[in-house]
Amino acid sequence: MIKTFKTGKWTFGKNVYKEFNSHIEKSIPSYLKTQKLISELSTYFLREDSICYDIGFSTGTLLVKINNLNLEKKINFIGIEPELNMLKSFKRSKEFKKITLINKVVENIKMKKSDYIISHYTLQFIRQNLRLKILKKIYNSLNPGGGFVLFEKVYANNSRFEKIFSDMLVDFKSKNNFSEKEIINKNKAIRGILEPLTTRQNIINLKKAGFKNNQIIHQDINFIGILSIK
């Protein structure tokens, strides 16, 4: 289990990559289900010679699944991940050679014209004053008809709903063998690092970035997925 003890000290660096996959599957409801959904959606947007970005590549499990559903096409995959150890943990296979890994934050790279871009629980860790700029960069990168999938933890619309969501999430983690101390420590560690918005605020930002067509495609407790099409 990933240990976090100090307020504001959460990190995806160091040796986190070793336990990242098992930890996140137990922390985020329907995590594997959402990877499957994103992978299946990719078949509607990726074609021969398409470029596909994964913002927050982590250990690469999502792009591997997308690749496996598009083996008949020559896709150019690009994984963006600022934590070098995450990238080092990725094991290339014979079936997955066409991939470029970029060890930078997304706000500091120039994105190529693409057909499918994913942010799977990544934008919530980026400072709010940078998010609209990043969304505009994503919009400008996409070809007309291209798809952007945004998954985020969100705040509820009011305090009553937020209390219900918070309780349900604690129950979910407890069922996955997180102790009360681990849950409390994790909440302390991500203060000032994880900065969710409401669903409405996320959609407003998407519209400001240029996305007129936005559809909620998933919600489990306070974790949502939105598909935006340029």
Task: Output the domain CATH number for residue 107.
Answer: 3.40.50.150
pTM summary value: 0.90
- Domain residues for the domain of 182 are 16-229
In a domain, 9, yes or no: no
* Alpha helix stretches (DSSP H) within the chain: 20-27, 31-42, 61-69, 84-89, 128-141, 159-175, 180-189, 199-209
Query: Please, which residues have CB within 8 angstroms of residue 187's CB and are 6 or more apart in sequence?
Result: none
Residue 201 one-letter amino acid: Q
- Total domains in the fold of the chain: 1
In a domain, 121, yes or no: yes
Compute the chain's Rg from CA coordinates: 17
In a domain, 3, yes or no: no
Q: How far apart are CA 107 and CA 112, in angstroms?
A: 13
Who has greater pLDDT, 92 or 228?
228
In a domain, 4, yes or no: no
In a domain, 8, yes or no: no
Q: How far apart are CA 169 and CA 87, in angstroms?
A: 29
In a domain, 5, yes or no: no
Q: How confident is the model at residue 5 (pLDDT cuts 50, 70, 90)?
A: very low
Residue 18 one-letter amino acid: K
User: What pLDDT is attached to residue 83?
Assistant: 87
In a domain, 43, yes or no: yes
